[in-house]
Amino acid sequence: MPQRLSLLLTTVSLGLLPTVTLAQQSQQTSTGLTLTTDSVTVDVQFYSPDIVRVFKQPKGHSKNKQSLVVVLAPAPGKLRYGKQGNLLTVSSATTQARLNPQTGQVSFFTSKGQPLVSELAAGLRFTPKTDLGEPTYQVRQTFRLTPGEAIYGLGQHQDGWLNYRGHKTRLRQQNLDIAVPVLHSSKGYGLFWDNYSSTQFTDDDKGTTFDSEVGDCADYYLLNGQGSADGVVARYRTLTGQAPLFPRWTLGFWQSKERYKSQQELLEVVEKYRSLGVPLDGIVQDWQYWGEDNDYWNSTEFGNPRFPDPKGMVDKVHALHAHQIISVWPSFGNKTKVFQELKQRNMLYDFITWPPTHHVQVYDAFNPAARDLYWSYLNKNIFALGMDGWWLDATEPDQIHPLSSDDENQTALGSFRRVRNAFPLLTTTGVYQHQRQTTTDKRVFILTRSAFAGQQRNATMTWSGDVQSSWDVLAKQLPAALNLSLAGVPYWNSDIGGFFPNGQYPKGVKDPAFQELFTRWQQFAAFTPMMRAHGEATPREIYQFGERGTWAFDSQEKYINLRYRLLPYLYSIMWGVTHAAGTLMRALPMDFPQDPKVADLGSEYLFGPAFLVRPVTESQYVTRADKNVLGTTDFTKTKTTDVYLPAGASWVDFWTGRRQTGGQTVSRETPIDVLPLYVRAGSVLPLAPRQQYTGEKDGAPLEIRVYPGANGEFTLYEDENDTYNYEKGAYATIRMRWDDKARQLTFDSRAGSFPGMQAARTFRVVLVDEQHGTGLGQDDAPAKEVKYAGQKTTIKL
């Protein structure tokens, strides 16, 4: 039985009876401590030694809450209880919570007594309100941060900030903005605010506040990363779910546009890439494959006569060694079969959505039966064709009218106002779980426009929405992506060139000014989790920009080829995301927390452990007098871009092999086909041969580049590339270790195996300097050939 403690606070005058009797109660529990003050009940629950939940309700209220996000059950390990002055304490091996028995204020410390974060003494506010006639509250909790502390995360926002100190942002799902209420501190802790309504986040001189529109409780989790940014992300994933592995082919190049209007057009694109010898792995079919009448919107059926043989189309794509995904929405036209069945079962909302007509309505993704029905149509009409993945569009969902009465809709979990931010989590949950139940032979891949905490467990790749085609927007994609990663959501991409070119580039692909923007955006995209060309109004296929030998074509082809050379590196890191809660797009504070110059540097980042990427985000070679006039190109003078090399490492220019020390800003020449790209000294980088699609040359030797200047290592991961057999242990790893002083590279014994694994293979090891192993590389670069049969092998370079 829990031990019950009663604290009786009295004021006593000498020789007189007590004049004040204010009773506060605390109770030790198996997972923490419960405290009742005169106004609030506070539960502190340890889910692990590093993860602590704080759950507060007004005194006398006892509503249970089932989190939509959290998948972890409390397992605190051994806890210690005590007092610190007049404060109650409960501690794990790594984390201590201190509670003020009079106010209910909670503060967190490390096991050594170092402060992490504290609530303000008067930082909690429950403001009574009604929601669909039911009593509830607007809930606000304010925290006190330390001076100089940087804060990141909160999802994806288009404001251009990396560090949110001194800023505010609204956490509400919409096209371009993704609400993930996870705050990530430079002190190595995180806070997850477990509320699903629109929330105002503010950091100012009054504190750091989450202010949510609806809530019966204040509910948040402290994530003690023990001083490490990776530790914060790992605790978040432990709490909310790990990210499953995508199929390897998704790392290749993707071609898309709004939209391919026929089966023939789509197939001709794939065939053209193959005939040109430009690599391609993914093709996307956008909307209206169902027809052009909005009453049949998103029927999930190929009702458009221009798609006469959808299964034949998918089969042909596969025969060309490519893959296809298709656009599906959470809304349905009133003449579709799925609409009629959902309406009959009262599973539709009535707010205005896109396209803006009352004949199109959104389904209730919070209803498990509605998710079942949704999948039944996707399965029989689309997945059964052999389709390889899903483009779940408008998963906010997209409300077209700001005064729409969407909040007043009833969902299976209460008002839409109460749960709106969790809509993308629930709709992707339905597709992910149902496909997993349908087959284990094809990994789930979901491209989606919105996300919420926990959504990484649904095999989702988020994109940044219908962004404008402009240099300013391109620059803002970097901090937007990095903050989503810092919030724990690992997979992100954007429409190469921006979705809407019309405002800036009405002549589209024919305008050299748009070509320059597209070229630089594509260079950036080569170093994001998904490299995907997409947009409206103008075609985006590489051959639309000119022929081979023209600058726009050649630069694009160069970076597509580079992407395919990086496949072993990328797939191994993707395994690290799944296996070790890793992060692919890494804001520089993650790896260089002691360098104050990177705390708010959102213009560059690490891509995995090896690459420092500094995209060019301004026009350098094309000028225009007017947006309606084609730009003028001038390559006579090579321009430059400033790059900060973080302190604490040496950096090797990927293109030249030149090594430079960290802690300085360098001016890097940036001809139109050069992205400033540096490799951390000590990196071991596996590269594949050039190929037209993933898997084309799996038996060929891998090039292993070693960048001297520090010790380093890399673990090469391999499996069947699709299926979920890796979850049963069907995979293999080879750890490669570089000893810089001894000039030795060691291939450790292979760990694990899988069906079809190459028992023996060849590695071509290149020691990088200014003459060897630079840029895309040459197959005839001086190399030491290693025949590897799975046993430990060491070579000297």
Alpha-carbon distance of 577 to 234, in angstroms, equals 10
Q: Which residue has the tokens 């891949």?
A: 445
Using only C-alpha atoms, the chain has a radius of gyration, in whole angstroms, of 28
Task: Determine the residue type at 626.
Answer: D
Alpha-carbon distance of 794 to 264, in angstroms, equals 53
In whole angstroms, what separates CA 460 from the centre of its chain? 8
DSSP state of 242: P
Query: In the chain, what are the helix, strand and coil shares in percent, each to the nearest 5?
Result: 20, 35, 45
Q: Enter the tokens of residue 274.
A: 């193959």
The answer to whether 540 and 754 have CB atoms below 8 angstroms apart is no
DSSP state of 537: S
The answer to whether 175 and 466 have CB atoms below 8 angstroms apart is yes
**Facing residues of 83 across strands?**
88
- Answer yes or no: 396 catalytic: yes
Please give the C-alpha separations between residue 69 and each of 244, 454, 579, in angstroms, as whole numbers.
16, 5, 20
Which of 258, 364, 393, 591 is an active site residue?
393
Q: In terms of residues, how long is the chain?
A: 797
Alpha-carbon distance of 376 to 363, in angstroms, equals 14
Identify which of 789, 732, 738 has the alpha carbon closest to the alpha carbon of residue 761: 789
Which of 119, 131, 364, 396 is an active site residue?
396
Alpha-carbon distance of 292 to 752, in angstroms, equals 52
DSSP state letters, 351-375: S-BTTTSTTEEEB-TTSHHHHHHHH
Alpha-carbon distance of 122 to 131, in angstroms, equals 25
Angle of CA points 624, 630, 636, to nearest 5°:
65
Which of 43, 131, 211, 466 is an active site residue?
466
Separation of first and last alpha carbons in the chain: 65
DSSP state of 318: H
- The torsion of the CA quartet 755, 756, 760, 764, rounded to 10 degrees, works out to -120
Q: Enter the tokens of residue 525.
A: 């995209």
- Answer yes or no: 466 catalytic: yes
Q: What is the 3-state secondary structure (H, E, C) of 450-466?
A: CCCCCHHHHCEEEECCC
In whole angstroms, what separates CA 349 from the centre of its chain? 28
The answer to whether 699 and 779 have CB atoms below 8 angstroms apart is no
Q: What is the 3-state secondary structure (H, E, C) of 82-113?
A: EEECCEEEEECCCEEEEECCCCCCEEEEECCC
Angle of CA points 418, 420, 426, to nearest 5°:
115
- The arrangement of strands across the sheet holding 218-224 comes to 4-11, 20-28, 32-36, 40-48, 51-58, 218-224, 189-193, 178-185, 151-156
Identify which of 541, 552, 722, 707 has the alpha carbon closest to the alpha carbon of residue 621: 552
Strand, helix or coil at 498? coil
**So which residues are the catalytic ones?**
393, 396, 466
